[in-house]
Amino acid sequence: MNPELGQVALILALVLSALQCVLPIIGAWRGSKPLMATATTLAIGQAVFVALAFGILMWSFWINDFSVAYVAQNSNLSLPWFYKLSAVWGAHEGSLLLWMLILNGWTVALVVLGGKLPEAFFSRVIGVLGFVAFGFLLYMITTSNPFLRLFPVPPNGADLNPVLQDPGLVFHPPTLYMGYVGFSVAFAFAIASLLGGELKSTWVRWARPWTNVAWGFLTLGIVAGSAWAYYELGWGGWWFWDPVENASFMPWLIGAALIHAQAITDKRDGLRAWTLLLSIFGFAFSLLGTFLVRSGLLTSVHAFAFAPARGVFILVYLAVVVGGSLLLYALRAPKVTGGKSFALASRETLMVIGNLMLTVACAMVLLGTLYPLVGEALNIGRISVGPPYFGPLFLILMTPLVLALPFGPLSHWGKADLKVWRNALVRIIALAVVAGIIGFIVGARGWYQLLGITAAVWVMAGVALFAIKRWREAPRGKRYPFEMLGMMLAHFGIGVFIAGAILTTSMSVEQDVSMKPGASVDVGAYDFHFNGVTETQGPNYRAQQGTVVITRNGKHIVTLHPQKRTYSGGQVQTEAAIEAGVFRDLYVSLGDSIGDGAWSLRVYDKPFVRWIWGGGVLMMLGGFAVVLDRRFRLKRAVEPETVHAKPEPETPRKLAEGEA
């Protein structure tokens, strides 16, 4: 198929997105049913053309059409077929196309599942999503066209970056983008409610499942990225506070805050303004993430060389989206906000504390990530900010959150009940202390390890107490609705994550060694025996493959084969060999030949490292589980929608406030 067709499809999608942005919103404003009805058609039409463009690009990869510059730069005749297909999003242009495809996927899902939403509100939501799509399509067509031709046509492609030739490429970008882009739905709901001057916060209930799914995907994307970095970058770290990791972590923090704020607004009608703001900022951080990764402004493991024009476009777009949203918020928020207040020691307060810590943590990450840019702009010098800044600060900020976390679910909405707190506190402390003592007996040493065990059990014990409480108090069949189940899964996941993160950090044994064939080294309780290096051949690389036999007390555990690959494009890539287990990973990666037949090797014993990602997966499942709750099933259009021809005059709805 002709790649120019792909470009035509993109241009048609751009036209449709412009219409999708304008017509439904005008329709909602003027109360015109025919105009509002265009929303569905335009959204689906746009999705079809973007999918067509995506399919054509994928086809170009499949048939090795090196006349397409993007294919020539990122593929190769000998590249295995699954990497050929995922190479579509292996670089800038294609990943934007994936971004678009996913945005359209979310929009179509909304069209299919949101048919029962009030028509005017639905039209506005689709209109806002049309605006988002318009910006990205314009960006793609003007600065990053994936269908550019290349003359003369090279006989073979330059090959996909070897770091990307990994199953991680198949999963990490799509899931991460599902999360990023998913926040655009929560954003569209918030903007639509501001545009329409929604007086009720029912929109928040409609938005909640979408936010939870988006956050679940973002969690999975971050977990996949972390695991990928762990085994592919060859030095066994799982989080580097790299600008690009931070870029995905910031919307995650805001998303976590938003999920809780939405719950308060939905159930208690409080924090309306805050929920609106978080919805806007969640999406803004997603855009910022795209900007940071794609601009090449920051030095990071992901930083590729890119034209600054692209960065400027996203920056302007970001300014328009955030500035416009905040302006709209400033104009409309006084009208739509307000709501109930609550007692100081209630569940709401605890959730507000959590929200506060999450947003402050996000601000802290933002400051550290952008500081080098600011430093450069102000000519202070070329600065970098690394783990010594982020690590301790994040720990400090998360401590109150972790301390408060078990008590949120256990306390009551709206009213203070200190007795509940006291009882829970006594039990949780008891459990955490017992866990600490057991840890000490089992062999945990050092205050950091003990602290890790205690903190993890602190969180888990809170979840367990809550489960018991529900079991006792709630009637059979209503004990654990999906919403609650999701919360419990995610909170338990945090406990598992804490255990994994702290135990891995404090207990890992990491050694860089030089070994001759036949030599052994002891790492932790394990004996690593090096049997030398042989040559092997892969589909598009040659490799030097080491053999390392690992034993414990003379008993054979596993034989690992770390590789050093040289790809057909000449790039060198280390492939670590890992024996993964629930309680520990054994990790070997091959360095260089350092003369005399000796090789440098990295040999690690990493206990509990899987718990880090296990915790993340639990959090993701939590986000997904919430969606199944009956609470979120749309009945039919909730009320006969009266369309506001004009913004309604200021209604005296802030009665309850101040007086209560």
Partner 1 sequence: MNPVRKRRLIITLLIFGAVGVATTLSVFALQKNMTYLYSPTEVDAGKAPDGHPFRLGGIVKEGSVHRVPGTLTTDFVITDRFQSIPVSYTGILPDLFRVGQSTITTGKLENGKFVATQVLAKHDSTYMPPQVEQAIAKAEKEHRVPKPAQGGGAP
# residues near partner 1 by CB under 8 A: 59
In this structure, how many other beta carbons lie within 10 angstroms of the beta carbon of residue 337? 20
**CB of 561: closest distance to partner 1 in angstroms?**
18
> What is the pairing mode between strands 541-552 and 509-515?
unpaired
Rounded distance, CA 638 to CA 202, Å?
9
Evaluate whether 620 touches 216 at the Cβ level (below 8 Å).
yes
Q: Which is nearer to partner 1, 511 or 551 (CB)?
A: 511
518 binds partner 1 (CB under 8 A): no
Sheet containing strand 577-579, strands side by side: 509-515, 599-607, 584-593, 577-579
Residue with tokens 């990493």: 606
- Out of 142, 299, 534, 536, which residue is the one contacting partner 1 (CB under 8 A)? 299
> What is the pairing mode between strands 572-575 and 563-567?
antiparallel
373 binds partner 1 (CB under 8 A): no
**CB of 418: closest distance to partner 1 in angstroms?**
16
Rounded distance, CA 317 to CA 308, Å?
14
Element (H, E) at 500: helix 482-507
418 binds partner 1 (CB under 8 A): no
On the 0-12 / 13-18 / 19+ scale of CB atoms within 10 A, 166 is: middle
521 binds partner 1 (CB under 8 A): no
Cα 216 to chain centroid, rounded: 8
Q: Among the candidate windows 8-16, 130-138, 185-193, 392-400, which touches partner 1 by CB under 8 A?
A: 392-400
Residue 12 gets the label, from left (phi > 0), alpha (psi -120 to 50) or beta, of alpha
Element (H, E) at 588: strand 584-593
4 binds partner 1 (CB under 8 A): no
403 binds partner 1 (CB under 8 A): no
Omega within 30 of 0 (cis) for the link into 152: yes
Task: Please state the φ and ψ torsions of residue 80, each to the nearest 5 degrees.
Answer: -55, 150
- Out of 364, 463, 487, 625, which residue is the one contacting partner 1 (CB under 8 A)? 364
301 binds partner 1 (CB under 8 A): yes
340 binds partner 1 (CB under 8 A): no
Q: With the C-alpha atoms ordered 178, 180, 181, 185, is the resulting torsion angle positive or negative?
A: positive
Pick out residues in 208-237 that bind partner 1 (CB under 8 A).
234-235
328 binds partner 1 (CB under 8 A): no
Rounded distance, CA 180 to CA 290, Å?
9
67 binds partner 1 (CB under 8 A): no
413 binds partner 1 (CB under 8 A): no
Which tokens belong to 40? 């569905």
- Out of 602, 611, 620, 632, which residue is the one contacting partner 1 (CB under 8 A)? 602
386 binds partner 1 (CB under 8 A): yes
163 binds partner 1 (CB under 8 A): yes
Q: Which is nearer to partner 1, 272 or 564 (CB)?
A: 564
**CB of 388: closest distance to partner 1 in angstroms?**
4
Binding mask 115-144 for partner 1 (x = CB under 8 A): ------------------------------
639 binds partner 1 (CB under 8 A): no
Rounded distance, CA 92 to CA 144, Å?
8
Element (H, E) at 77: none
368 binds partner 1 (CB under 8 A): yes
Collapsing DSSP to helix, strand or coil, 121 comes out as: helix
Evaluate whether 205 touches 626 at the Cβ level (below 8 Å).
no
**CB of 564: closest distance to partner 1 in angstroms?**
8
Q: Which is nearer to partner 1, 20 or 161 (CB)?
A: 161
Q: Which is nearer to partner 1, 108 or 385 (CB)?
A: 385
395 binds partner 1 (CB under 8 A): no
Q: Which is nearer to partner 1, 303 or 638 (CB)?
A: 303
Evaluate whether 372 touches 295 at the Cβ level (below 8 Å).
no
Rounded distance, CA 190 to CA 129, Å?
11
**CB of 129: closest distance to partner 1 in angstroms?**
33
Q: Which of 116, 93, 3 is nearest to 55 (CA)?
A: 3
309 binds partner 1 (CB under 8 A): no
Rounded distance, CA 118 to CA 185, Å?
16
Evaluate whether 400 touches 351 at the Cβ level (below 8 Å).
no
Q: Which is nearer to partner 1, 29 or 238 (CB)?
A: 238
Q: Which is nearer to partner 1, 26 or 233 (CB)?
A: 233
161 binds partner 1 (CB under 8 A): yes
- Out of 150, 273, 318, 356, which residue is the one contacting partner 1 (CB under 8 A)? 356
Q: Among the candidate windows 138-146, 382-390, 443-451, 625-633, which touches partner 1 by CB under 8 A?
A: 382-390
DSSP of 152-190: SPPSS-----GGG-SHHHHHHHHHHHHHHHHHHHHHHHH
- Out of 384, 399, 536, 642, which residue is the one contacting partner 1 (CB under 8 A)? 384
- Out of 334, 392, 518, 597, which residue is the one contacting partner 1 (CB under 8 A)? 392
User: 3-class secondary structure for 316-364?
Assistant: HHHHHHHHHHHHHHHHHHHHHCCCCCCCCCCHHHHHHHHHHHHHHHHHH
Pick out residues in 537-596 that bind partner 1 (CB under 8 A).
564, 570-574, 589, 591-592, 594-596
Cα of first residue to Cα of last residue in the chain, in angstroms, is: 67
DSSP state of 68: B
Q: Among the candidate windows 48-56, 295-303, 489-497, 577-585, which touches partner 1 by CB under 8 A?
A: 295-303
- Out of 519, 600, 628, 637, which residue is the one contacting partner 1 (CB under 8 A)? 600
**CB of 475: closest distance to partner 1 in angstroms?**
34
Q: Which of 192, 14, 32 is nearest to 110 (CA)?
A: 192
Q: Which is nearer to partner 1, 349 or 551 (CB)?
A: 349
Q: Among the candidate windows 15-23, 218-226, 280-288, 389-397, which touches partner 1 by CB under 8 A?
A: 389-397
154 binds partner 1 (CB under 8 A): no
345 binds partner 1 (CB under 8 A): no
Q: Which of 136, 134, 131, 155 is nearest to 146 (CA)?
A: 136
Binding site for partner 1 (CB under 8 A): 161, 163, 234-235, 296-297, 299, 301-305, 341, 343-344, 349, 352, 356-357, 360, 363-364, 367-368, 371, 375, 381-386, 388-389, 392-393, 396-397, 512-514, 564, 570-574, 589, 591-592, 594-596, 598, 600-602, 658, 660
